[in-house]
Structure 1
Amino acid sequence: MQPLNLVLLWHMHQPDYRNYETGEFMLPWVYLHAIKDYSDMASHFEAHPAMKAVVNFVPVLLDQIEDYAAQFAMGQLRDPLLRLLATPDLEQVSTEDRLRAFDSCFRSNHVTMMQPYPAYKRLFELHETLRERGEPELAYLSGQYLADLLVWYHLAWTGESVRRDNEVVVKLMTQEKGFSYENRMQLFNVMGEVIQGLIPRYRKLAESGQIELSTTPHYHPLAPLLIDFSSALDSEPGSSLPAEAAYPGGKSRIAHQLTSATESHARRFGTEPDGVWPAEGAVSTPLLEIMSDQYCRWSASGEAVLANSLRKSYPARSLPERGQYLYQPYRVEGKAGSVTCFFRDEKLSDMIGFEYAKWFGRDAAEHMVHSLEDIARNSPPGENPVVSVILDGENAWEYYPYNGYYFLNDLYEILENHDSIRVTTYRDYLAFMNPADVVTLPVLAAGSWVYGTFSTWIGDRDKNRAWDLLCAAKHSYDLVMQSGRLTSEEMAKAERQLASCESSDWFWWLGDYNPPYVVSSFDQLFRDNLANLYALLKLPVPVSVNEPISHGGVAQESGGAMRRAS
């Protein structure tokens, strides 16, 4: 079996949940994933020093992690759920805060994050019994109930590595109930220590050469669409587009967000990134040209994007077996050619994202390694195959027992001791790569890591309406910024707010394939961002911004925070 190069890329991202007008965090997902997934992922690398990978941090996530670290340090909390955890007397909290706790503290995968804990499950069952009798019945739930609920919710969201190493967490889980204010503050302080240590831990791993850190344009914009809406037609020629022909000034906006990301990365990690994982793995030739201008060495996307590109490049040829073209680096002809492109193995990536959670950890790890060995055996003689496995670094683990601890521990252990599979990073791979291994791609078909299309973000009524609202706001932004009416400080605030409005996440969640309560939250966040932008521009908020865009529908596997590649 000839050697095979494996690059694991873990993409760490959350959209900006802050309301810039009030300073409040509207949803708690950044700090919850920080104490669970970002801490666990660092711990696995620390426990397996021979394991290598790429970790991609979106700057807006790092901004929020630093924001939370400062909140813990100063004790000035701007997250309502954290404030409740640290409230001395829970008997005196408002009805709004009580309902917030009830609404928030059961949001998790109940199979893996509630059922293993009988005390937490009893709290849920009591709540459901009273809720079925009507909302006023919930008033009978005491401050002690709220204390136990808040502690158990945060214990359930605590990473496996923290549970195994922290005596406070072990003690609280053993205690089960009757948590005092002192108990709550003990847990609060543990969470603060974990969050404050995250960025230094990843920087240390990068400085040792064990991981490569990459970045994404600062606020996670769907770059090809901001540059040109018609790029959606590359993969779906009949797709419906927004009323506007193009997002005003989209190309300069992407260049600005990429520059901002590079500066943010250098400030936090001491060096500029070599590579960029574009938001949603969404690529186009104009985007690669922008990356080339900013000295980006590598980027990556989805397998379906490569397949579409090969069909467009060689329309008279039939597409060969995927093993004959997938495991190679590519460069697009022309100016974009200075950026080496890699394409993820959809099957292996989706096995981790959607299937292995149902397996025993060791069985799943061995199956993945056997799959990699099969790829190596079937590679053409003399080739230097590179397999890219790329997926979210936080969202899958909620569905795994023990937050994926056994799967990742066994996978890393097997890989770091394997004779034929060479775990590496894109930076290291490029350093020893034979230039003859790079394949020239005449045409790059614009697309994303989901289905190879942009249908998750554009093309239906609700998504297109959101784009229309954003385009209208951008026209107003351009006029006001050029008018000289704002001070330099006011302009900086407006620019930051616009960047948050440009995030791909708002468009991801709109649609009838996502559950209504989630759609409602992200719909409101998007429109709040737009309203804040108009306020910063000193303009009245259009009536259309106050009207809900989407209502959601029946939850199904095609919805949620993760999506299969095909």
Structure 2
Amino acid sequence: MPTRCLDLILCWHFHQPDYRDYASGEYRLPWTYLHAIKDYSDMAAHLEAHPQMHVTCNFVPVLLDQLEDYTSQFKANKPRDPLLALLIEPELEHIAQVQRDLILEYCFRCNHVTMVRPYPAYHQLAELFQLAERQGRDALNYLSGQYLSDLVTWYHLVWTGETVRHQYPWLLDLMKKGRGFTLADRRSVYQLIGEVTIDLIPRYRKLAASGQIEISSTPHYHPIAPVLMDFAAAREAWPQCELPVEAAYPGGAARVRRHLDSALATHQQRFGAAAQGIWPAEGGISTALVGMFDEAGMAWSASGEAVLANSLHAAVVPDADQRQLRYRPYRVAGHKTLCFFRDDRLSDMIGFEYAKWHANDAVKHFVAELETILHQAPEHETPVVSVILDGENAWEYYPYNGYFFLDELYAALENHPGIHTHSFASYLAERAKHPHAAQVGELPRLVAGSWVYGTFSTWIGVPEKNRAWDLLARAKQQYDLVMATDTLSAAEKTAAEAQLCDCESSDWFWWFGGSNPRHSVESFDRLYRANLVQLYHLLKLPVPDALSIPISHGGSEAEAGGTMRRAS
């Protein structure tokens, strides 16, 4: 009698919003290259070390745009990221006040438990800063050029991935040195950052070409698509949701199609193959959006477990029966694109809980949970479990950037006789060979929602988020009027359209409201309003006074710094 098995689809989502100032070409925040040298590099290395491990890696195109832009900066040796440029600034003793402030503001932005306290020299820099900060601006100005040199070096050292340190032992020698870093030391770190960043996309392209991973995509600038298409979609799962004053986002469906078409076209150019599936931004999905995926020829899409629960409830499936129905793909009536739904609990265990566990215990628990799902599944069915989560922000909270957890997890899954790892694409290819091995559920419709709580409450429905939507909708009204005239040249229209794409990202709305840390909210608030201001400039229109007023201040100390959410 053949051994029963379970199909596991592990999907890592890689995304950073566009941090570029389109007017100057400079980067306003450094997170793209920092995650490149720490997380994207480590994730590639773990897969290279475990060639029997199959996963989906979802790259948002605007992240890839930025990685390619950083590649061009390194090749030209002309950094347009202010923090990166300061890493190789020869005379840190004599830099401008704004540059000093930049180093002091950003070079402690990380999880201090795993990235500052383990390193005595770096921890001492933090204590000196805190002491000086309590004394005021004059005391901060006494911090020397050598202090700034040590600080900017340490910050980039702790943002190097664990596998990068294994590959380049001289990084560990620098960490042992601890202080007194020279310009030559800083230039060595800068050069390594460039080498790692330049090599990233080719490494993932090679993994995809081997068939080990699938690279999937997301509409280009990560818009929260169902809401962009129709504000009222927010009321399907949350009927009491307060909507923006503006009745709708003008031409929202066409804008989503623009993001989708661009994503698929650039994916083909970068990876030499068409994307087979789409992870919509934040798992935000609706019946109308699935129809758009059908038209684009997508084989699969995915969302959160709560969206499935809401949709089954709408189909009058009793709650008691829903657990047995979770571990299968679904087809929405009248549509071809298959929909998968993440196991929220297992995804959140990796995202939040296992960081607190010993790696071996965490891996045993994860495997045992999968074995339990298999044991409880009907005998005639091969359950498919989708674990989908952020592939970058979680590791900051793990010891050693999650090195031991990921290494042991991949080893355990590679060698487990009852668990078969797949990408979504390889699962569908295997299913086509054995159509009776897995059930496909049917849904009359999808109740629109996201992976966070099954609603869109993270992006719309509170005053600050709604105000942001109103500002965007009014800008889009003006955009449409100008684009219908001959006021702008073709090049100017192209620039305005790119700027609008950036403004439509879901990330701005994520941060607004009182549930996130003040410094992060204010940073993203400034970025969002600056993007809208630039859009008006490109349209050659007066900038509304409303854009000089902050939208949100935040104030809460959110889990994981607000960069991730639990599903429930």
Deviation of 1:435 (Å): 4.7
Deviation readout 1:446-475 (Å, 9 max, x if unpaired): 000000000000000000000000000000
Aligned to 1:376, the other structure's residue is in SS state helix
Give the Cα separation in 2 of the matches to 1:558 and 1:22.
31
Aligned to 2:425: 427
Deviation readout 1:365-406 (Å, 9 max, x if unpaired): 111011000000000111021000000000100000000000
Q: Which amino acid letter does the alignment assign opposite residue 331 of structure 1?
A: R
Deviation readout 1:500-537 (Å, 9 max, x if unpaired): 00000000000101111111000110001100101011
Deviation of 1:50 (Å): 0.4
**Contact 1:35/1:158, CA 8 A, preserved across alignment:** yes
Aligned to 1:55, the other structure's residue is in SS state strand
**Contact 1:473/1:530, CA 8 A, preserved across alignment:** yes
Q: Which amino acid letter does the alignment assign opposite residue 45 of structure 2?
A: S
Superposition pairs for residues 370-385 of structure 1, below 5 Å? 370-385=368-383
Deviation of 1:212 (Å): 0.3
Aligned to 2:216: 214
Give the Cα separation in 1 of the matches to 2:561 and 2:241.
20
Deviation of 1:41 (Å): 0.2
Aligned to 2:526: 524
Aligned to 2:484, the other structure's residue is in SS state helix
Aligned to 1:125: 127
**Contact 2:512/2:552, CA 8 A, preserved across alignment:** yes
Aligned to 1:541: 543
Query: Which 10-residue stretch deviates more, 274-283 or 319-328?
Result: 319-328
**Contact 1:323/1:375, CA 8 A, preserved across alignment:** no
Aligned to 1:477: 479
Q: Which amino acid letter does the alignment assign opposite residue 415 of structure 1?
A: L
Give the Cα separation in 2 of the matches to 1:6 and 1:558.
26
Aligned mate of 2:349, from 341, 348, 351: 351
Deviation of 1:168 (Å): 2.8
**Contact 1:53/1:423, CA 8 A, preserved across alignment:** yes
Give the Cα separation in 2 of the matches to 1:484 and 1:470.
23
Aligned mate of 2:401, from 403, 413, 416: 403
Deviation of 1:322 (Å): 4.5
Q: Which amino acid letter does the alignment assign opposite residue 388 of structure 1?
A: S
Identify unmatched segments of 5+ residues in structure 1: none
Alignment pair present for 1:286 and 2:288? yes
Give the Cα separation in 2 of the matches to 1:240 and 1:435.
44
**Contact 2:93/2:144, CA 8 A, preserved across alignment:** yes
Aligned to 2:141: 139
Deviation of 1:133 (Å): 1.2
Aligned to 1:515: 517
Q: Which amino acid letter does the alignment assign opposite residue 470 of structure 2?
A: D
Q: Which amino acid letter does the alignment assign opposite residue 296 of structure 1?
A: M
**Contact 1:558/1:564, CA 8 A, preserved across alignment:** no
Give the Cα separation in 2 of the matches to 1:549 and 1:150.
31
Aligned to 2:165: 163
Alignment pair present for 1:80 and 2:82? yes
**Contact 1:12/1:394, CA 8 A, preserved across alignment:** yes
Query: Which 10-residue stretch deviates more, 464-473 or 167-176?
Result: 167-176
Give the Cα separation in 1 of the matches to 2:501 and 2:320.
41
Over the matched positions of the two proteins, sequence identity in percent amounts to 57
Aligned to 1:113: 115
Deviation of 1:175 (Å): 1.4
Alignment pair present for 1:556 and 2:554? no
Deviation of 1:557 (Å): 2.8
Give the Cα separation in 1 of the matches to 2:106 and 2:322.
44
Aligned to 1:153, the other structure's residue is in SS state helix
Deviation of 1:313 (Å): 1.3
Deviation readout 1:482-510 (Å, 9 max, x if unpaired): 01211111111111000000000000000
Aligned to 1:329: 329
Deviation readout 1:405-431 (Å, 9 max, x if unpaired): 000000000000110100011111111
Give the Cα separation in 2 of the matches to 1:482 and 1:323.
52
Residues 340 and 101 of structure 1: is their aligned pair in 2 closer, same or farther, counting only changes over 3 Å?
Answer: same
Give the Cα separation in 2 of the matches to 1:559 and 1:109.
9
Q: Which amino acid letter does the alignment assign opposite residue 165 of structure 1?
A: Q
Deviation readout 1:112-167 (Å, 9 max, x if unpaired): 00111001001111111111111211111111111110110000111000011103
Aligned mate of 1:195, from 194, 197, 200: 197
Deviation of 1:44 (Å): 0.2
Deviation readout 1:337-391 (Å, 9 max, x if unpaired): 2100000000000000110000001110111011000000000111021000000
Aligned mate of 1:361, from 359, 384, 396: 359
Deviation of 1:23 (Å): 1.1
TM-score relative to the length of structure 1: 0.98
Aligned to 1:213, the other structure's residue is in SS state strand
Aligned mate of 2:235, from 233, 256, 260: 233
Q: Which amino acid letter does the alignment assign opposite residue 272 of structure 1?
A: A
Give the Cα separation in 1 of the matches to 2:155 and 2:342.
35
Superposition pairs for residues 492-507 of structure 1, below 5 Å? 492-507=494-509
Aligned to 2:300: 298
Aligned mate of 2:97, from 89, 95, 108: 95
Aligned to 1:256: 258
Give the Cα separation in 1 of the matches to 2:86 and 2:429.
50
Give the Cα separation in 2 of the matches to 1:475 and 1:204.
44
CA RMSD of aligned residues (A): 1.0
Aligned to 2:150: 148
Deviation readout 1:291-341 (Å, 9 max, x if unpaired): 111101100000000000001112xx422354301100100002xx21000
Give the Cα separation in 1 of the matches to 2:182 and 2:551.
43
Give the Cα separation in 1 of the matches to 2:130 and 2:550.
29
Give the Cα separation in 2 of the matches to 1:553 and 1:107.
16
Matched residues, number: 562
Aligned to 1:417: 415
**Contact 1:513/1:558, CA 8 A, preserved across alignment:** no
Give the Cα separation in 1 of the matches to 2:283 and 2:407.
27
Aligned to 1:192, the other structure's residue is in SS state helix
Aligned mate of 1:445, from 435, 443, 447: 447
**Contact 1:333/1:442, CA 8 A, preserved across alignment:** yes
**Contact 1:168/1:187, CA 8 A, preserved across alignment:** no
**Contact 1:119/1:176, CA 8 A, preserved across alignment:** yes
**Contact 2:525/2:550, CA 8 A, preserved across alignment:** yes
Q: Which amino acid letter does the alignment assign opposite residue 364 of structure 1?
A: A
Deviation of 1:558 (Å): 8.6
TM-score relative to the length of structure 2: 0.98
**Contact 1:310/1:443, CA 8 A, preserved across alignment:** no
Deviation of 1:556 (Å): 2.9
Aligned to 1:23: 25
Aligned to 1:384, the other structure's residue is in SS state coil
Aligned to 1:458: 460
Give the Cα separation in 2 of the matches to 1:525 and 1:168.
37
